[in-house]
Structure 1
């Protein structure tokens, strides 16, 4: 089931690469290719995962920085390196993951603290997978010993690191784990900082991939049902967004999307209007 879900995420990423926004704007195309690489890496598709970062780099080189919406300010060459690190790590290419993680951490924009925490955890995991235990512990120690902005993915990475450190049997790893604060070893706790972003009909294309990704994650256990398949959802999204008055609200925990809702007026003659009237609705 997990493998099937990852394949659905990859399908969602591929669908997003074919939107009008990505065909029109190299920056959106670059982000779509980079996210597709991560999705294919998580699905274990080496060929497609390793081909996408080069396409993302080429598209990024053709993009122009002017007149960008605020939501995409995070994406640049440094973020592409970070997504490449995540791709290589999922494919088991730890040395390459370490290389790209170092590059992104060296030039990540100020203020992207959650991204920095995530890529730091990837760096530590890549180092411990290569047997560099002391350096790995030193890399991730700030994530465990100081207050850090976090997310579900960061918590998963931190838990994975503790398990891998314990599994090494190293005296250094045992001592490092013993010195961690007890509360951290139970479960890191992060308070979300939710912000809402309104999306109008003419702003759909740049966020279409995001909506497809969230759909694939929320309905992960239902994606074999044709109604919840990502391509079918994409068709419905296109149809709904074609109506005047369509709009969406996306919730972000810092830079990470955590959910959304959208709505559009029903057309005259829609079957819903033929249902028995309920006076409580008037």
Structure 2
């Protein structure tokens, strides 16, 4: 009976976090410069391990300046190259950082715009809360307790204004075409993970509180969520970890000089698939993402395919 109850509880918690990943992302709210986040909704690999590594993120967008089929449009391509990592400071306290370099292109019918440079650096502090299995009545009080497989990570951090912000670029349909936001922003997040044998799930919720930059320009606050399901396939000295995921972002409106700018809010939901390959201490990951539903900048901006590739070394 107890075993059955435990299975029911585990199924409920898993379903709850997966639903959070879908429902919270799909709520109709508002938008900021979504493209300047540098993939910030992902804070590490599937196993939330300690690591140092490099990551490449590719994003495609289409922006249309008008409601007609012949309205001027631009095709935008964003290349982001990152140094990232997570290192322990003590048994339960960790620090992570993402240092991005942005290489952004905007293609018109008659010309191409190109900006590049150091993006906004993210620094996060983490507290990891582990859960243990209940001890048997006849076990020793001081015996080593066995982990239950559930884990929670609480994070709090800052996004630094290390990337250049160009005010003249905000007059375009997609003001997210920026190397940086020019603002000091706060990030609060919680990560949940559960693994039993070869099957694992992970979910994250994050909120970005954004401030005005020196140009009196404020990107809207952002709520992000994500959930993944993965399965370990053991191949002698190598582990293959395919996964499926869903994620989403909700953006509040942009403000300038204290005024709210019209049609600068929105929301988007993504579906993704990918895999990680682990050998010794190296993890190679590939993720491909497509939008499921979106409403960005009053429908004038459409997110298209995204993919990322990363190589981590476990500490």
Query: What's the TM-score bracket when you normalise by the shorter of the two chains?
Result: under 0.3
Which of the pair has the greater relative contact order for Cα pairs under 8 Å at 6+ separation? 2
TM-score (norm 2): 0.26
Q: More helix per residue: 1 or 2?
A: 1
* Larger strand percent: 2
TM-score by length of 1: 0.28
